[in-house]
A = this chain, B = another copy of it.
Amino acid sequence: MNRVDAPVGPARLLHVDPARLMQRLGALGEIDRKADGSCCRLALTGADRIGRDMVVGWMRDAGLSVQVDQIGNIFGVRQGREDLEPVMTGSHIDTVATGGLYDGAYGVVAGLEAIAALDRAHRSTRRPIAVAVFTNEEGVRFQPDMMGSLVFSGQLPLAEALAAQAADGAVLGEELVQIGYAGVVPCGQLRPHAFVELHIEQGPVLDREGGVLGAVEDLQGISWQEVTVVGVANHAGTTPMNMRMDAGYCAAEIAVFVRALAERMADGQVATVGSIRLSPNLVNVIAREAVLSIDLRNTDDTRLAAAEAALARHLGELAAAQGVRVSVRQLARSAAVRFDPGVLAVIEGVARDLARPIRRMTSGAGHDAQMISAVSPTAMIFVPSVGGVSHNPREYTHPEHLELGANVLVNTLIRLSET
Please list the residues of chain A having a beta carbon within 8 angstroms of any beta carbon in chain B. Answer: 201-205, 220, 222, 224, 226, 234-241, 246, 248-249, 251-256, 259, 262-263, 269-278, 280-287, 293, 295, 297, 331, 363-365, 388, 390
Contact = CB atoms under 8 A, between A and B. Distances in A.
Q: A220, A248, A269, A281 — which one has the most chain B CB atoms within 10 A of its CB?
A: A248
A365 B276 contact: no
B286 A281 contact: no
B204 A238 contact: yes
Contacts of A270: 236-237, 239-241
Most buried by B among A235, A293, A331: A235
Nearest to A281: B275
Given A275-B282, A278-B275, A222 B237 contact: yes
B249 A259 contact: yes
**Candidate in A224, A240, A269, A331 with the most chain B CB atoms within 10 angstroms:** A240
A114 to B, nearest CB: 26
Contacts of A249: 255-256, 259, 273
B235 A202 contact: yes
A237 B252 contact: no
Given A249-B255, A276-B276, A293-B283, A220 B237 contact: yes
Given A236-B270, A252-B251, A259 B278 contact: no
Nearest to A226: B283
Query: Among the interface residues A251, A262, A270, which one has the most CB atoms of the partner chain B within 10 A?
Result: A270
12 contacts: A222-B237, A236-B274, A237-B270, A239-B364, A248-B274, A249-B255, A249-B273, A251-B276, A252-B255, A253-B255, A256-B256, A275-B283
A275 B234 CA distance: 13
Given A274-B278, A283-B274, A390 B235 contact: yes
A245 to B, nearest CB: 13
A67 B246 CA distance: 45
A252 B275 contact: no
A390 to B, nearest CB: 7
B388 A238 contact: yes
Q: Which 9 A-B pairs have the closest CB atoms?
A: A237-B364, A238-B364, A203-B238, A252-B255, A236-B272, A283-B293, A252-B252, A236-B295, A275-B281
